[in-house]
Amino acid sequence: MMQQIYPVTAHSYAYELNKDFHFSAAHYVPHEDAGICQYMHGHTYYANITIAGDELDHTGFLVNFRTIKELIQKRFDHGVMNKDSAFSDIHATAFPTTEVIARVTYEIVQDYLNTLLNQPVCLQVFLRETPTSYCVYRPKEAKK
Ligand SMILES: Nc1nc2c(c(=O)[nH]1)N=C([C@H](O)[C@H](O)COP(=O)(O)OP(=O)(O)OP(=O)(O)O)CN2
Ligand SMILES: [Zn+2]
């Protein structure tokens, strides 16, 4: 696992946890302006998910680290991003770019967090696509 320093997001929650994991997937960016990226190719994506909250659950967890990893890894690992229902080859806002995959990752994680009684929130998704390229997604509506 790649270890690195991630950008921090300021907030006033009592607890903040971060989960690192990775997954491998194929994709293409379905527009000719994407150059060679319009052709199918693969990456090992490295993700760091930041979750915060004020209350712990009955196990003393803000949220189970393992669940966060599995939500994303089980869905995308060794798959073709373009085939996943979260993405589209029609609308640019749903092309599986680093930016969109980071946003979709946030949406999957936050949808799960919304089911928890202690109501943690996802503050940031850091997604590295290549050794030299990454995106940080922070939801605009997140309470700080
Ligand atoms: N804003 C974005 N730009 C690009 C994306 C993207 O998702 N968002 N994706 C690509 C390619 O699909 C590719 O995955 C990454 O390209 P790049 O960073 O150029 O990769 P390299 O390994 O070739 O980078 P070097 O630093 O030149 O080695 C393109 N752009
Ligand atoms: Zn790519």
Q: How far apart are CA 130 and CA 45, in angstroms?
A: 7
What is the interface pTM, i.e. ipTM, of the complex? 0.94
Task: Write down the pTM of the prediction.
Answer: 0.95
Instruction: List, in order of start, the domains of the chain with CATH numbers.
Output: 15-137 (3.30.479.10)
Query: How many residues comprise the chain?
Result: 144
The CB of 25 under 6 Å from ligand 1? The reply is: no
For residue 82, which phi and psi values (nearest 5 degrees)?
-60, -20
Q: What are the catalytic residues?
A: 37, 78, 129
Q: pLDDT at position 127, please?
A: 98
Ligand 2 midpoint to CA 137 (Å): 18
Instruction: Mark residue 119 as left, alpha or beta (left: phi above 0; alpha: psi -120 to 50; beta: remaining).
Output: left
Question: Mean pLDDT of successive 10-residue segments in the chain (144 residues)?
Answer: 82 97 98 97 98 98 98 98 97 98 98 98 98 96 62
